[in-house]
Structure 1
Amino acid sequence: MSPYSGGRCLLNTDWTYKTTPPLPRAARAIVAADEDLDAGAYRLRVDPGSIVVSCNDDDGCSAALATLRQLLGPPAAIGEVVVAAVEIDDVPRFAWRGVMIDVARHFIPLDDLLRWLDVFALHKLNRLHLHLTDDQGWRIEIRARPSLTQIGGSTAVGGGPSGFYTQNEYAQLVSAAAARGIVVVPEIDMPGHIHAALASMPELNCDGIAPEPFTGTTVGFSSLCLDKAETWAFVEDVVGEIAALTPGPFLHIGGDEAHEVEAADYAAFITRAQQIVARNGKRMIGWEEVAAAPVSGATVVQQWLGLSNADELPPGAEVILSPVLHAYLDARQDAASDLGALYNGITDLRRAYAWDPEQIISGLDPARILGVEAPLWTEYVPDAAVAEQQIWPRLIALAEVAWTGQERRDYADFVTRLAAQQPWLDAANIHFFRSEEMPWTP
């Protein structure tokens, strides 16, 4: 275990830290392993002699340092910082506390993702799911297939700014995330949502002709040609390179809205894709549609729309919950706003907070809930500034849903505490949405 992972960026070394009562000159800040603590749990103790963080794994250590960072105050408070004596024992409700950023429909520059990492970590999020490919754009360099970014990386919804991440840039993001206790989960969506690849590589099309790039918002119309050897060579190359670049254990293959694929062909594709992912040392994740294929219980199913009964899941499979009515960050936030999508109605702050993950899938053993993830789809999110308004402050609500037990959550109390997060968002230059539920300062 590396007990300092997640702490290097959370502590501002320009500050002088003091405790109340004050630490003696010989006092130390200590991070110690404690095998008696549960996975992800931590204990934080501040007393006159020391600041002691105890944890059993990297996730717990990162969460403890995030709490300590909150106690120290926002970065604007440069100078002497006083930390009151305190003892905190805390444990997450779920192991997976994630956010998904769709960088395919509209490209999000690396610098913005790097800047957001600190705020993700501050609220104990530990998964960054990157939706790297879709009909409108291919955003990750595949060295064996350079046309994917040369052509597929040159488009976006509405002809907006395009781009892609080189493998070195992706590695930089993965490293920066790991330093903050966040695991990057890459998604290569297939066999549908694949038009950017089809436009880049004629051999992936059944007729051998590359279509024109797509900049609209229609879904479900594209598919790989599943019976061609070239398709499987492509899948092998892409999965192999992405797996090699990604130290985390997961690789997401999408699998959603493949409306042009027959059910039997879809099942065969997902089964074979799972084998390729496993052969490259990763655990496959797919959107809820993959549950219709004969996948193994090692597959993680990401619920989003219609999956409502545990009988629909592969035996033993774990689930990530991203219910469209509560967790989708692209939804409009109030009736007066012109930002965001309306296809699921309005998801205000209360709707993002006031739900119970254990009630989403009937009959599901809570032990099979891996966690909660909030997706930001970017068909109607043209740039990072609008993305920030769609993400915050609702992501803070969803982070609490993922961390805090149902019996300890109360919306009125949350709103009161949320007001204290504005200095953190301001310090990170986050253009957050000023929801009417909150008494934000100008």
Structure 2
Amino acid sequence: MRRRLAVLLACALPLTAAAPVSAAAAVPVVALGSVIPAPVEVRPGGAGFTVTSRTVIEARGGARGVAERLGEALRLRVVGQAPGRTPKIALELGRVNGKPESYRLTVGKRGVTLRAATPAGLFNGVQTLQQLVPASGAGTIAGGEIVDYPRFGYRGTMLDIARHFHTPDEIKRHIDEISKFKVNYLHLHLSDDQGWRIQIDSWPRLTTVGGAAGTGVDGVGGGFLTKAGYRDLVRYAASRYVTIVPEIDMPGHVNAAQVAYPELTCDGVAPPPRTDTAVGYSSLCIGSETTYRFVEDVIRELAAMTPGPYLHIGGDEAHATTEADYLTFQKRVLPLVTKYGKTAYGWNEIAAAPEAGVAVAQYWSSATQNATVAAAVANGTKVIMSPANLAYIDQKYDPSTRLGLSWAGYIEVRKAYDWDPGTHVTGVPESAVLGVEAPLWSETLRSLDDIEYMAWPRLAGLAELGWSPARDWESFRARLGAYGPRWTARGVDFYRSPQIDWAG
């Protein structure tokens, strides 16, 4: 990796660190609405507030945790009550407008007040506030008021650690970055044909074999998460108001599990390990009770260490499973997720099963699936929008991109941004759409730099689709260009799209 130790240390903070400024410093002002994602309401006006070394952060009770993070980032002292006329940034919990995750940010000459009904709302407001402090750390926060809340409750991205294992430290750095754009779900793809990446006590060879050195695409992606390591990631993400969604892909994409446990095949013979990128050739043995004992054990153990509401059971590209067997499998497995207290979540193929009425379907594939998904929605299924030709951020930007694939087409920044999750699929009204997710598959990724190059800046645009009520490409490209120096300062290896006029 090309990043220096100093850059790694700087990135350890979840918010952009900035030195406190003196009153004599130059005072450039960032326009009040020049943030990503775009706020719902922006009312500029009045004098701005200059952050100096005398400024304190005032917070009490449930606001204290978010305030401490802001204090770390701005290198300001956090107090329970600021004395007298001390210049302050006040964080407080209280009603805003009844919208989930909403906040109100008010900026005047004497200080800043950030109010939200929940700590998650405060955290959202802090992300906005951080972008209003100039990237240099020296400057004035523009005067006025922002009232803001998300369009969708689910604003996610996925990281594939099955085809190439990405370390906990890499995942944590990625969490730090996504949380800056109010992305609040991280879907971890934990198993596939090339590897198994999560410890399951009742089936220990899943990781001792499926997570061994030499697993992964090209045999270079070995490794796995212990239960302690997974719980640590869950805690780390939660401290940044990001919820982990674990995925075990089945009944296809199971070659690594069958290498470890041949009894999961119909003939009891272990298949050879796979390190290529082919899909659709593996299947659990649908008529075997061993299959369902295995599946229930995995769901039970994974649910026990996952506090979030969702458990993803995959279900895509099960080409080696007959249609009848696929429906039989889902009839047995979808209720198991409910049994262990989670909402079942799967790729849009699960929509064909009647039992998916209580599940979430992740829309990813071609228009041939639209009617099936629409019918499932009529039966109660909710949808996460991840159309591969728009939201898969492992796809190349253009033919010259050094990483990624192109089977779903090239996806430049504008293409990733310029669509509407609420109207994308005929027969799926916005009321049935929980949100949007940007999957990042790891066939070609080897490092944190690779993750960042493919994610940014497209993921910032997809985050805005999930948060903001309307799209405006010209506004977005201007705000994105202005944001570039912040990535540069943090050492983020982002793609400098020619569609954007980058500052700095």
Counterpart of 2:222 in structure 1 is 162
**Which of these residues, 248, 265, 269, is aligned with residue 325 of structure 2?**
265
CA shift digits 1:68-104 (9 cap, x unpaired): 2222344x63xx6643333110121111100001111
User: Runs of 4+ in structure 1 displaced over 6 angstroms?
Assistant: none
**Which of these residues, 258, 264, 270, is aligned with residue 198 of structure 1?**
258
CA shift for structure 1 position 276: 1.0
**Which of these residues, 365, 368, 372, is aligned with residue 432 of structure 2?**
368
CA shift digits 1:29-50 (9 cap, x unpaired): 1221216421122111223454
Is the partner of 2:238 in helix, strand or coil?
helix
Q: Is 1:128 the equivalent of 2:186?
A: yes
**Which of these residues, 447, 466, 474, is aligned with residue 383 of structure 1?**
447
Counterpart of 2:4 in structure 1 is none
Counterpart of 2:240 in structure 1 is 180
Q: Is 1:138 the equivalent of 2:202?
A: no
Is the partner of 2:346 in helix, strand or coil?
strand
Counterpart of 2:420 in structure 1 is 356
**Which of these residues, 265, 275, 294, is aligned with residue 354 of structure 2?**
294
Q: What aligned pairs does 1:29-40 form with structure 2 within 5 A after superposition?
A: 29-34=90-95, 36-40=97-101
Q: How many residues align?
A: 433
Q: What aligned pairs does 1:217-296 form with structure 2 within 5 A after superposition?
A: 217-296=277-356
CA shift for structure 1 position 132: 0.7
Larger Rg: 2
- Matched to 1:247, the amino acid is P
Q: Is 1:214 the equivalent of 2:277?
A: no
CA shift for structure 1 position 12: 2.7
- Matched to 1:365, the amino acid is P
Kindly indicate whether the alpha-carbon contact (under 8 Å) linking 1:98 and 1:374 is maintained by their aligned counterparts in 2. Answer: yes
Q: In structure 2, what is the Cα distance between the partners aligned to 1:6 and 1:286? A: 33
Q: In structure 2, what is the Cα distance between the partners aligned to 1:214 and 1:5? A: 45
- Matched to 1:44, the amino acid is L
CA shift for structure 1 position 261: 1.1
- Matched to 2:499, the amino acid is E
Q: Is 1:104 the equivalent of 2:162?
A: yes
Distance 1:121 1:274, change over 3 A: same
CA shift for structure 1 position 426: 2.3
Kindly indicate whether the alpha-carbon contact (under 8 Å) linking 1:8 and 1:180 is maintained by their aligned counterparts in 2. Answer: no
CA shift for structure 1 position 242: 0.8
CA shift digits 1:203-258 (9 cap, x unpaired): 11111122221101110111111222221111111111111111101100001111
Kindly indicate whether the alpha-carbon contact (under 8 Å) linking 1:119 and 1:428 is maintained by their aligned counterparts in 2. Answer: no
Q: In structure 1, what is the Cα distance between the partners aligned to 2:308 and 2:462? A: 23
Counterpart of 1:311 in structure 2 is 374
Q: In structure 1, what is the Cα distance between the partners aligned to 2:433 and 2:89? A: 39
CA shift digits 1:98-128 (9 cap, x unpaired): 0001111111111111112121111110000
Unaligned residue ranges in structure 2 (runs of 5+)? 1-60, 78-83
Distance 1:287 1:7, change over 3 A: farther
- Matched to 1:178, the amino acid is A
Kindly indicate whether the alpha-carbon contact (under 8 Å) linking 2:89 and 2:114 is maintained by their aligned counterparts in 1. Answer: no
CA shift for structure 1 position 15: 2.4
Q: What aligned pairs does 1:48-63 form with structure 2 within 5 A after superposition?
A: 48-63=109-124
Q: In structure 2, what is the Cα distance between the partners aligned to 1:291 and 1:148? A: 28
CA shift digits 1:171-220 (9 cap, x unpaired): 11111111111111000101111111111112111111222211011101
Kindly indicate whether the alpha-carbon contact (under 8 Å) linking 1:47 and 1:85 is maintained by their aligned counterparts in 2. Answer: yes
**Which of these residues, 87, 93, 111, is aligned with residue 151 of structure 2?**
93
Q: Is 1:404 the equivalent of 2:464?
A: no
Distance 1:3 1:189, change over 3 A: farther
Q: In structure 2, what is the Cα distance between the partners aligned to 1:60 and 1:337? A: 37
Kindly indicate whether the alpha-carbon contact (under 8 Å) linking 1:112 and 1:384 is maintained by their aligned counterparts in 2. Answer: yes
Q: In structure 1, what is the Cα distance between the partners aligned to 2:343 and 2:65? A: 23
Counterpart of 1:438 in structure 2 is 500
Unaligned residue ranges in structure 1 (runs of 5+)? 18-22
Q: In structure 2, what is the Cα distance between the partners aligned to 1:245 and 1:129? A: 15
CA shift for structure 1 position 441: 5.7
Q: In structure 2, what is the Cα distance between the partners aligned to 1:93 and 1:185? A: 20
Q: In structure 2, what is the Cα distance between the partners aligned to 1:82 and 1:382? A: 40
Is the partner of 2:425 in helix, strand or coil?
coil
Counterpart of 2:132 in structure 1 is 71
Q: In structure 1, what is the Cα distance between the partners aligned to 2:416 and 2:347? A: 20
CA shift for structure 1 position 345: 1.8
TM-score, with structure 1 as normaliser: 0.92
CA shift for structure 1 position 135: 0.4
CA shift for structure 1 position 383: 2.9
